Amino acid sequence: MSFVEYGDTIKDGDTAIVFLGHESMFPVKVQHGTVTQTKYGVIRHSTDLIGKKYGSKVTCSKGGWVFILHPTPELWTMNLPHRTQILYSTDISIITMMLELKPGSIVCESGTGSGSLSHALIRTVAPTGHLYTVEFHQQRAEKAREEFREHGVEHLVTVTNQDVCKNGFGVSNIADAVFLDIPSPWEAIGHAKSALKAEGGRICSFSPCIEQVQRTCLAMEEYGFTEINTLEILLRVYNVRTVSLQIPDLGKAAEDNSSTGFDSSNPSNQGSLCTNLQQGTVQFKSGVPLREMVGHTGYLTFATKS
């Protein structure tokens, strides 16, 4: 099993995603002789998982069922154990695009954190690229190495435990892109410039506060970066619902079938048409935004090495 080289069958030692529903899923490490408890009953790894195809529908001991999915960076972002605050797919997608990443790219990242962005970067640059990721916290760095090894991508990533603001990324003049997610990114701009290739390399800094952005932009300008720009991604989700609205009293025109939005030639609609007209309402599908939603996550500042 690998996050970048997909297999058909579930093997002992794989990381799989148990899918109970769009809002309910979790990762599990497949091990011979192990069982996993769900609200639908027990899943026995030896008989229910190992040897089955990814995407299979598995019946649990209580009669309920789940799907077993192959892990992807997107699924891992939704299910990973949080050691730090993480980046989600909304920001990750714009980062990979604006940094102009592709298979074969060399990327430097700090800090590694929980590895949400790291997995997405690794898949983007595979199979010939490489990620150099720096994590200040020793235990988080060791856990990241362990996860990358379990997920079959350790040959595509190098994890370093050091302070990027003092010691840099450990590489010089080879990176196509640099990503910073640290409290004081302006202190690492000089090291980022040293890690980037001679010209044309891209840099991105993620900061939750506008004061951090201001200092980072000043540092980028001081080190000769160009095309400096900052953006914020705000995601607004809509639910599709059936909405009932009252028919306005427009006289005889209101009785016209065309004004109801129904096809009166369809026998199945004639009963609904009469009922709706008598009640003075008409139903149709509409997009309704959520009452509560995730707003600001952070500011993304991009620049180019001239």
For CATH 3.40.50.150, list the domain ranges present in the chain.
76-232+297-305
Question: Does the annotation place 181 within a ligand binding site?
Answer: yes
Contact 60, 43 (CB under 8 A): yes
Evaluate if residue 158 carries a pLDDT over 60. yes
Question: Does the annotation place 114 within a ligand binding site?
Answer: yes
Its CATH class, for the domain covering 76-232+297-305, is alpha beta
Question: Does the annotation place 280 within a ligand binding site?
Answer: no
Q: Place 248 in a pLDDT band, splitting at 50, 70 and 90.
A: confident
pTM of the entire structure?
A: 0.84
Its CATH class, for the domain covering 9-71, is alpha beta
Question: Does the annotation place 163 within a ligand binding site?
Answer: yes
Question: Within 10 A of 22 (CB to CB), how many other CB atoms are there?
Answer: 7
pLDDT in tens, 81-137: 999 999 999 999 999 999 999 999 999 999 999 999 999 999 999 999 999 999 999
For residue 216, the SS3 value is helix
For residue 265, the SS3 value is coil
Question: Does the annotation place 221 within a ligand binding site?
Answer: no
For CATH 3.10.330.20, list the domain ranges present in the chain.
9-71
Q: Calculate what percentage of the chain has a pLDDT beyond 90.
A: 75
Question: Does the annotation place 263 within a ligand binding site?
Answer: no
Q: Exposed, middle or buried, 198 (CB in 10 Å: 0-12/13-18/19+)? A: exposed
**Between β-strands 157-161 and 106-110, what pairing exists: parallel, antiparallel or unpaired?**
unpaired
